[in-house]
Amino acid sequence: MQVLESGIGELIQPFDLDEFREWNRTKKTRKLVDKRMTEQEAIRQFVYDGCYIGTELYGTVRCPMSLAREVVRQGRKNLRVCGQGVLELDLWLAAGIIKKLDITYIGLEVYGTTAALRRAVESGQVETCVEWSNGSISWRMKAAAMGVPFLPTRSMLGTDMLKYSAAKVVEDPFTGTKVALLPALVLDVALIHVHRADKHGNCQIEGISGFALEMSRACKRLIISAEEIIPTEEIRKYPDRTVIPYYLVDAVVHAPYGSYPGEMAYMYGRDEPGIKEWVEMSKTAEGAKEYLDKYVYGLKNHAEYLKLIGDERLQQAVELREKRE
């Protein structure tokens, strides 16, 4: 089972299984303590310059947009980012705070490629892009979540993706099948937005789970933002709906409309004009700066942001929600 090929991409965040175990033993309490705090406190306490960070899911879908804005507001920089992202990572790129990317996809989906990514990468401001497929980056987190150093896949074989990644190709010793081995990925900080959490961090999600299960189990610090804070009795009534148990969580931030202008399944839909505003303004560096001034730097916190958006637009988003019918 020798290594047949090795990607030349940098392993931006090397993995040490025993160190991760030791972290989980000593830095994560098993006690049911109250972890509620403001977004300012959570970002101040857990996000630091140069840390390896990721967000779940996508800027327009159940994404911790309020936390992502706070990271910019507090001026964190030189971030190393695990990136499949839409609005949230685009915002970070435009703010110039990303140094290295394990990139899978950063784009505006229906609105195409992003100018902020182009500016940041083509200018060399982002120093390194290591390539992974969406499946591969998720499996890298899944490896860490399983507590193993790697997972095999047939993704990326035969392509430049393999070459510009940090994966390795081996032959399966049982069947001779060629597989790529994906190194486990543990984030320093993960940001995940959920429908409901209790004060301890027990979380419920509706709709697709994206890669929330994997990411929540593959990070050293986990900041949860939640649309709603619910009593622990409610969690205990439906233990089969807890997808992220409290012991994984370091901070719980109450963030109604936390995914806005993106959506939250069964709660509110996308605000298309809100998204288009970024799409248009981010086409130039000046426009992006103006947007950041208006929606990030010029506001104190998420509450002020919601006030700026206004009840009427939020209510419109609620009208557009997916319904159980």
Residues making contact with its own copies (CB under 8 A): 1-3, 11, 15-18, 146-154, 168, 170, 172-175, 177, 179, 181, 183, 205-209, 237-240, 324-325
Minimum distance between the CB of residue 103 and its own copies, rounded to whole angstroms?
A: 20
Among 24, 74, 301, 316, binds another protein (CB under 8 A): 24
Minimum distance between the CB of residue 205 and its own copies, rounded to whole angstroms?
A: 8
Q: Which is nearer to another protein, 43 or 194 (CB)?
A: 194
Q: Say how many C-beta atoms besides its own lie within 10 A of residue 88's C-beta.
A: 30
Could you say which residues in the range 165-184 bind another protein, by CB under 8 A?
169, 177-180
Q: Which does 105 bind (CB under 5 to 8 A by kind): another protein, its own copies, none?
A: another protein
DSSP label at residue 297: I
55 binds another protein, rule: CB under 8 A: no
CB 55 within 8 A of CB 88: yes
Q: Which does 168 bind (CB under 5 to 8 A by kind): its own copies, another protein, none?
A: its own copies
CB 283 within 8 A of CB 115: yes
274 closest CA partner among 299, 307, 309, 312: 309
Among 55, 66, 136, 216, binds another protein (CB under 8 A): 136
| DSSP secondary structure of 19-51 | HHHHHHHHSS--S----B--HHHHHHHH--TT-
Q: Say how many C-beta atoms besides its own lie within 10 A of residue 84's C-beta.
A: 24
Could you say which residues in the range 102-131 bind another protein, by CB under 8 A?
103-107, 109-110, 113-114, 117-118, 121-122, 124, 129, 131
216 binds another protein, rule: CB under 8 A: no
Could you say which residues in the range 292-321 bind another protein, by CB under 8 A?
321
Q: Which does 135 bind (CB under 5 to 8 A by kind): its own copies, another protein, none?
A: another protein
Among 125, 134, 284, 315, binds another protein (CB under 8 A): 134
CB 109 within 8 A of CB 84: no
Which listed range, 37-45, 240-248, 292-300, 307-315, lies at the site for another protein (CB under 8 A)?
240-248
Amino acid at 188: D
DSSP label at residue 218: S
DSSP label at residue 84: E
274 binds another protein, rule: CB under 8 A: no
Q: Which is nearer to another protein, 122 or 300 (CB)?
A: 122
Segments in 84-202 forming alpha helices (H):
87-94, 115-122, 134-146, 160-163
29 binds another protein, rule: CB under 8 A: yes
Among 38, 40, 78, 153, binds another protein (CB under 8 A): 153
DSSP label at residue 318: H
Per DSSP bridges, beta strands 168-171 and 150-153 are unpaired
Query: Hey, which residues does 320 pair with through a beta bridge?
Result: none
129 closest CA partner among 91, 168, 96, 165: 165
CB 189 within 8 A of CB 51: yes
For 220, the enclosing helix (H) or strand (E) is: strand 219-229
Query: Hey, which residues does 268 pair with through a beta bridge?
Result: 264
Q: How many residues bind another protein (CB under 8 A)?
A: 93
Q: Which does 2 bind (CB under 5 to 8 A by kind): another protein, its own copies, none?
A: its own copies
Among 45, 237, 284, 298, binds another protein (CB under 8 A): 237
Q: Which does 314 bind (CB under 5 to 8 A by kind): another protein, its own copies, none?
A: none
Minimum distance between the CB of residue 30 and another protein, rounded to whole angstroms?
A: 5
Amino acid at 232: T
